[in-house]
Chains A and B, each alone.
Chain A
């Protein structure tokens, strides 16, 4: 039986090298077609009537005027009279028309009468939450926190948190649905779940799952918000049916996207944490709350990473009349990390300890992988020149001048990852080319590139001899891209399928080489007898022997051999300058040190970390879903006042990936989430170090920075 392992370090030809993503040229030249770009013949455009109220009951809906309009092909009520609406922007009715303006006019011609009900949309102040919007608080206790606090020699207490934010996928949610005949639906969605969406649609439309074909070549970002096919997707399919099967396109307008297509929940916490004089952390207590919309939100894992012996937590899940939360990269971790690492940094400051020393002193409390954290902390400290620049809180790091105060902050994080279930068909053709078919998706992260690298590595051929076929649910099913499970899943299935296909090829040609399959290896475009490289034939000659019968093997994950594992650690350090006259925070340098097992492509791995850091600067400094208590509506559902970090805002990034012994043998582990966890904490801590005050809530906007400084002055 074949052995399913990864090649050793010296033997890797592609794995771990810096390979540009294979779809890069198509993307930069505009040839890559995103769902948004697709125009199908005879396509209709869908527009949705949305509730202007955050909380209301639908009294009546009159669609007659819309139905009569020229160019309108189908009108549907989505939520009928009597329905209670729980967020502004929720879908009430939909129309499909020959062009976008007509559809928009028709949607505006639909008359909906609402009975307005009282709403609640801002949960930052816990005491303001009406009883009807609170769930019973949950409490957890470990050890003896009361006693531990009594014995603690230094205690800090403060509030930490972050507001609700949006995913801001550059390509909004949406799809094109068309009935190719009475029973078969073809859908081009923008999705994180190519293999999963078909069944979901089929269930809603009550047709066999096999009758829904999903196709997607490229998509413009999901970040956890694009798993479901969504109500608007199902409605597009229904409108298409009503319009005789014509393709119906729905892509959310930016304001709708930001109102209804997902948020990252808020998290606020009053924290008390205590230590011995020598810096040993002994106790934690937190009272936390937060909201992810109508269903509230669970407690992030407080305290985060640190296994503090005595803890007590109390959490309030608050419901709001705001569009519901969806997974956002590393759900709950960024919030938990900010609250925990913020409180620990404040504790270190009160202990008059350099937080780096403080964290290293307590590092055993991070558990089984504390050695990795230690190595990462030391590496990051070297990269950011921690010992050279860092000064005690409020003194201003080296390089401060006038009102410009420099500060450093650090944070650490973890994530699971692991490989999802994945299947693929690997085909070796007689011309030597290889095809890998898999019902996965490339969210822009390099999935295509990774498939090619793994297959080419296994066959000992250049990566351009491999072609990956993805984004189609008629290919072997592969998991949704979430939880940083894709690289493990697709690498595992591709590797196993490729090893099996190669063995089938070996079986086929071994007789002609006077040997047996188990004696052969594929290296540098040749197939040769292990130990006697002269007994060889080229890859192409070998494949030519297949004649008209290509080889296909099914690769699976999970499967035989330990190809992937789970659990990573990361450390980030931020270097900021704060203008204490204006409260404006600028990024100088930002360092990320991360492990993720065996790296398939160093370039796309680093790119993942860079992307996470950019998003991290965004949520640390700028991003907030601003809700108006009076109207119950979002005030900044646009890219103008919902502020994202631009290139001139992010400063310099440095990334270091942990590789080699201790890392590589774990196999590839996902990287989509971990580096997004720490930025808020690292940047918040850097601002605290620079200014001498804790700005309690992200984003760290000038008003909040100035207010924190003023509060300190008032004493």
Chain B
């Protein structure tokens, strides 16, 4: 690990002031479950690490009577599971899919959303966009069994690692941001972006901005679920996942729908077409399966990951069925 300066500010403004104007200068430290590995492996080498765990504003989960919620960026994965287990399974299911008790205990919502891709070329030091010595992209010609099947026309081929991201997109949540220029909010759907350069990021943050929390619109009457296709139950990543949020009328017809896929694209993938197709339908196995097909209509396999298209279809189908149950 390179030497770095360590700061532990007590307020948001102090924290923001300690961050740099370039990504290489400083990194925010929350639970540290991702950042420390990145630094130990020399994948990220910040000159300064800004610990945000001492900032009270970032903590806590507030449930509002109208069914909405405001979650602090420092809420841990365990806290999210506890808070939303009964009301918003899309969130708690996603949390339970992070199958390490230690990581659930230390990892935070902000850290989950801003964690870096697990692409094995990136993690081995070939850069975010994974280029070889002569600048050619390693993923398309390499082993891409875990890489993207949607939004994968390059230059980014990795998958967004965040399991909460798709749930927040499906729930139409907003990400709350604080920076040198003050506060702003952005739709979860817009927060995630596919970078176009090695020095870019996978989310809409400036280097001196911090995610302070997430606001979730009222979930009264919303049935939600996350379904992950996983090879292993223990300590493993989903191969594909889908989060679904549905409102249904008395006759069980879908009146509103949000569907987002995880671990299949450089960002959580908003399957808006599948969602609007679902509106007005009564959920059956066939309807759910059709929604899965629509969600993956634009998918394109790389050399080794065609199977993920099938897995993602199944994830959408099963998430819809689970939510509607």
* Chain A residues within CB distance 8 Å of chain B: 101, 104, 581-584, 621-622, 626, 628-631, 633, 635-636, 639-641, 643, 645-649, 701-703, 706-707
Interface residues of B in 296-314 (CB under 8 A from A): 304-307, 310-311, 314
Q: Are A635 and B310 in contact (CB under 8 A)?
A: no
In the assembled complex, which residues on chain B have CB atoms less than 8 Å from the CB atom of A648? 232-234
Question: Which chain A residue has the least Cβ–Cβ distance from B136?
Answer: A630
Q: Are A629 and B142 in contact (CB under 8 A)?
A: yes
In the assembled complex, which residues on chain A have CB atoms less than 8 Å from the CB atom of B314? 581-582
In the assembled complex, which residues on chain B have CB atoms less than 8 Å from the CB atom of A626? 143
- A646-B234, A702-B239 known; A583 vs B307 contact (CB < 8 Å): yes
CA distance in complex: A258, B180 (Å): 45
Number of A-B contacts (CB under 8 A): 75
- A631-B132, A706-B307, A706-B310 known; A643 vs B142 contact (CB < 8 Å): no
Nearest-CB distance from B264 to chain A (Å)? 14
Q: Are B142 and A702 in contact (CB under 8 A)?
A: no
Q: Are B232 and A649 in contact (CB under 8 A)?
A: yes
Q: Are A703 and B307 in contact (CB under 8 A)?
A: yes
CA distance in complex: A330, B291 (Å): 49
* Given contact pairs A104-B1, A702-B229, A703-B145, a sample of 7 additional A-B residue pairs in the complex whose CB atoms are under 8 Å apart: A584-B229, A629-B142, A635-B124, A641-B146, A643-B236, A645-B234, A706-B310
Check: B10 CB closer than 8 A to any chain A CB: no
**Could you give, for residues 236-260 of chain B, a 1 whenever the CB lies within 8 Å of some chain A CB and a 0 otherwise?**
1101000000000000000000000
In the assembled complex, which residues on chain A have CB atoms less than 8 Å from the CB atom of B310? 581-582, 706
Check: B235 CB closer than 8 A to any chain A CB: yes
In the assembled complex, which residues on chain B have CB atoms less than 8 Å from the CB atom of A622? 231-232
Closest 4 CB pairs of A and B: A646-B234, A648-B233, A703-B307, A635-B120
CA distance in complex: A648, B101 (Å): 13
- A581-B310, A631-B138, A703-B145 known; A641 vs B233 contact (CB < 8 Å): no
Q: Are B124 and A647 in contact (CB under 8 A)?
A: no
- A584-B230, A622-B231 known; A628 vs B142 contact (CB < 8 Å): yes
CA distance in complex: A633, B142 (Å): 11
In the assembled complex, which residues on chain B have CB atoms less than 8 Å from the CB atom of A583? 307, 311
Interface residues of B in 13-35 (CB under 8 A from A): none
Nearest-CB distance from B99 to chain A (Å)? 8
Some 6 contacts from A to B, beta carbons below 8 A apart, are A631-B138, A640-B118, A643-B231, A648-B232, A648-B234, A703-B307
Q: Are B120 and A647 in contact (CB under 8 A)?
A: no
In the assembled complex, which residues on chain B have CB atoms less than 8 Å from the CB atom of A104? 1
In the assembled complex, which residues on chain B have CB atoms less than 8 Å from the CB atom of A629? 142-143
In the assembled complex, which residues on chain A have CB atoms less than 8 Å from the CB atom of B102? none
Q: Are B232 and A645 in contact (CB under 8 A)?
A: yes
Nearest-CB distance from A139 to chain B (Å)? 34
Nearest-CB distance from A685 to chain B (Å)? 20
CA distance in complex: A647, B314 (Å): 26
Q: Are A101 and B1 in contact (CB under 8 A)?
A: yes
Pick the contact of B120 from A621, A641, A645, A707 — CB < 8 Å? A641
Q: Are A649 and B229 in contact (CB under 8 A)?
A: no
Question: Which chain B residue has the least Cβ–Cβ distance from A635?
Answer: B120
Nearest-CB distance from A166 to chain B (Å)? 15
CA distance in complex: A193, B120 (Å): 36
Q: Are B311 and A633 in contact (CB under 8 A)?
A: no
**Could you give, for residues 140-158 of chain B, a 1 whenever the CB lies within 8 Å of some chain A CB and a 0 otherwise?**
0111011000000000000
Question: Which chain B residue has the least Cβ–Cβ distance from A639?
Answer: B235
Nearest-CB distance from A652 to chain B (Å)? 14
Q: Are B143 and A702 in contact (CB under 8 A)?
A: no
CA distance in complex: A630, B311 (Å): 27
Question: Which chain A residue has the least Cβ–Cβ distance from B239?
Answer: A702
CA distance in complex: A633, B126 (Å): 12
**Could you give, for residues 209-233 of chain B, a 1 whenever the CB lies within 8 Å of some chain A CB and a 0 otherwise?**
0000000000000000000011111
Question: Which chain B residue has the least Cβ–Cβ distance from A637?
Answer: B124
CA distance in complex: A645, B235 (Å): 9
Q: Are A582 and B118 in contact (CB under 8 A)?
A: no
Question: Which chain A residue has the least Cβ–Cβ distance from B307?
Answer: A703
In the assembled complex, which residues on chain B have CB atoms less than 8 Å from the CB atom of A702? 229, 231, 239, 307, 311
Q: Are A643 and B1 in contact (CB under 8 A)?
A: no
In the assembled complex, which residues on chain B have CB atoms less than 8 Å from the CB atom of A647? 234
In the assembled complex, which residues on chain A have CB atoms less than 8 Å from the CB atom of B121? 628, 635
In the assembled complex, which residues on chain A have CB atoms less than 8 Å from the CB atom of B1? 101, 104
In the assembled complex, which residues on chain A have CB atoms less than 8 Å from the CB atom of B235? 639-640, 646
In the assembled complex, which residues on chain A have CB atoms less than 8 Å from the CB atom of B232? 622, 643, 645-646, 648-649
Nearest-CB distance from A258 to chain B (Å)? 13
Nearest-CB distance from A640 to chain B (Å)? 7
Nearest-CB distance from B139 to chain A (Å)? 10
Question: Which chain A residue has the least Cβ–Cβ distance from B234?
Answer: A646
In the assembled complex, which residues on chain A have CB atoms less than 8 Å from the CB atom of B306? 703
CA distance in complex: A633, B118 (Å): 17
CA distance in complex: A584, B124 (Å): 28
In the assembled complex, which residues on chain A have CB atoms less than 8 Å from the CB atom of B234? 645-649
Q: Are A707 and B307 in contact (CB under 8 A)?
A: yes
Nearest-CB distance from A626 to chain B (Å)? 6
Q: Are B141 and A630 in contact (CB under 8 A)?
A: yes
Best-surrounded residue of A582, A583, A645, A706 (most CB of chain B within 10 A): A582
Pick the contact of A636 from B120, B142, B231, B305 — CB < 8 Å? B120
Nearest-CB distance from A269 to chain B (Å)? 23
CA distance in complex: A583, B118 (Å): 23
Pick the contact of A646 from B124, B132, B233, B307 — CB < 8 Å? B233
In the assembled complex, which residues on chain B have CB atoms less than 8 Å from the CB atom of A641? 118, 120, 146
CA distance in complex: A629, B124 (Å): 15
Interface residues of B in 263-308 (CB under 8 A from A): 304-307
CA distance in complex: A628, B120 (Å): 10
Nearest-CB distance from A509 to chain B (Å)? 58
Best-surrounded residue of B120, B235, B305, B311 (most CB of chain A within 10 A): B120
CA distance in complex: A636, B120 (Å): 7
CA distance in complex: A390, B292 (Å): 34
CA distance in complex: A633, B143 (Å): 11
In the assembled complex, which residues on chain A have CB atoms less than 8 Å from the CB atom of B124? 631, 633, 635
Question: Which chain A residue has the least Cβ–Cβ distance from B139?
Answer: A630
Question: Which chain A residue has the least Cβ–Cβ distance from B315?
Answer: A582
CA distance in complex: A706, B234 (Å): 22
In the assembled complex, which residues on chain B have CB atoms less than 8 Å from the CB atom of A706? 307, 310
CA distance in complex: A701, B143 (Å): 15
CA distance in complex: A626, B145 (Å): 11
